[in-house]
Homo-oligomer: A and B are copies of this chain.
Amino acid sequence: MKGAAKPSARKNGEQRAQAAVACARCPLRRLDCFDAYANDRIDFIQSLKIGELHVDTDAEIIPEGAHGGHLYTLLSGWAFRFKTLSDGRRQILNFLLPGDFIGLQQKMSADATHGVRALSEVRLCVFPRDSLWEIHRTYPDLAYDVTWLAAHEEALVDETLLSVGRRNAAERIALLLLLLHQRASSLQLGDDSGAVPFPITQQHIADALGLSLVHTNKTLRRLEATGLHRIRGGRLSLPNPAALASLADHYGRTATITRPLI
C-alpha cells in the first residue's frame, strides 16, 4: 500500500544543453525497428528540432502537473512516466525507451498529468510545443504517425492495467520483464548473450506493478530460482522467455513490426 516515492536525494535536474545530432544521422533511425522516412520528412523533423537535452540519472524531465512544456523524443537512456498520491504512494505508468515520444499528454490534457523521470543518463531531442500543430498542418502522414504513437502508448498502459488489476505478483513481474526485454532487444541494446541494460531497481518494479518492495523482492527471488530470469550488473537476461510468456498468459505477436520515429 505504500508506493515509496521517497524524494531520493534527487540530483536536482542538472539539465544541460549541448550540440545537437543531425536527424539525418540519427543513430536510432538506422535500427530496423523504426520506419524508414523519406529525406523530406527527416528534413522537416530536423527543422522542428530546437536542440538536445541531457539529463542525469534520477532527475525529473517533466515535473508532475506541468502544463505545456516541450515535446521530446528519447534518444538514449531510459525513463518512466509516473503519478503520485499526496501521501507519497507512487504509480509508474510505463517505462520509456529510446525512440519513445514524450509530452503528448501535457500538451493536450487539461487535467493534472504525470511526471517523467530519468532512470539513467538520458539524451532527449527537443521540439517546441507547437510543433505538434505544425506537424498536423504540414505533414499529414507524420501526424498520422503521432496518432499511432499515442494509440500504441495507450495499448501499453492497457496491458499494464490488466496486469495490475488481474494478475498476481509472479505473473505481473514475468510480463514486465518479458516486455522490457523485448523492447530493449528490438533496439539492439542486448549483447551477444542476449542480456539487455536494466537500469531499474526493485522499487521501480514494485511501483510499476502496484506491489510492495518486499513482496517484489521475494517474488523476483523465486522466479530467478526457477531460472526464469537473471539480473546482474545492471543487465537482464531471460533464459526462458517462453516460460515467462506462459506464466504471464501473454500471447503477443512475435513478428516484429516497425514503428514511427519522430
Q: Which residues of A contact B (CB under 8 A)?
A: 1, 3, 81, 83, 85-87, 89-91, 93, 104-105, 107-114, 132-133, 136-137, 140-141, 143-144, 146-148, 150-155, 157-162, 164-168, 207, 209-210, 249, 251-253, 255, 257
Decide if A136 touches B132 in the complex (CB within 8 Å).
no
Decide if B140 touches A91 in the complex (CB within 8 Å).
no
Q: Which residues of B contact A167 (CB under 8 A)?
A: 85, 89
Decide if A151 touches B150 in the complex (CB within 8 Å).
yes
Min distance, Cβ A62 to any Cβ of chain B, angstroms = 14
Decide if B155 touches A111 in the complex (CB within 8 Å).
yes
Min distance, Cβ A95 to any Cβ of chain B, angstroms = 13
Chain A's interface: helix, strand, loop or mixed, by majority? helix
- Copies of this chain present in the complex amount to 2
Q: Which residues of B contact A111 (CB under 8 A)?
A: 155, 159, 252-253
Decide if B108 touches A253 in the complex (CB within 8 Å).
no
Q: Which of A86, A108, A210 has the most CB of B within 10 A?
A: A108
Q: Which residues of B contact A162 (CB under 8 A)?
A: 83, 85, 91, 93
C-alpha gap A109/B136 in the complex (Å): 21
Q: Which residues of B contact A143 (CB under 8 A)?
A: 136, 140, 143-144, 147
Min distance, Cβ A85 to any Cβ of chain B, angstroms = 5
For the complex with contacts A93-B161, A105-B154, A143-B144, 17 further pairs of A-B residues with Cβ separation under 8 Å are A1-B166, A3-B166, A85-B166, A87-B249, A91-B162, A104-B151, A109-B151, A110-B257, A136-B136, A136-B140, A136-B143, A136-B144, A136-B147, A147-B147, A147-B150, A157-B161, A166-B210
Q: Give which listed residue, B89, B114, B133, contacts A166 with CB less than 8 A.
A: B89
Decide if A137 touches B136 in the complex (CB within 8 Å).
no
Chain B, Cβ-Cβ closest to A87: B249
Decide if A86 touches B249 in the complex (CB within 8 Å).
yes
Q: Give which listed residue, B83, B133, B148, contacts A158 with CB less than 8 A.
A: B83
C-alpha gap A165/B210 in the complex (Å): 4
Q: Which residues of B contact A105 (CB under 8 A)?
A: 151, 154-155, 158
Decide if A133 touches B144 in the complex (CB within 8 Å).
yes
Q: Which residues of B contact A207 (CB under 8 A)?
A: 165
Q: Give which listed residue, B107, B113, B209, contacts A165 with CB less than 8 A.
A: B209
Q: Give which listed residue, B86, B91, B110, contacts A161 with CB less than 8 A.
A: B91
Q: Which residues of B contact A114 (CB under 8 A)?
A: 158
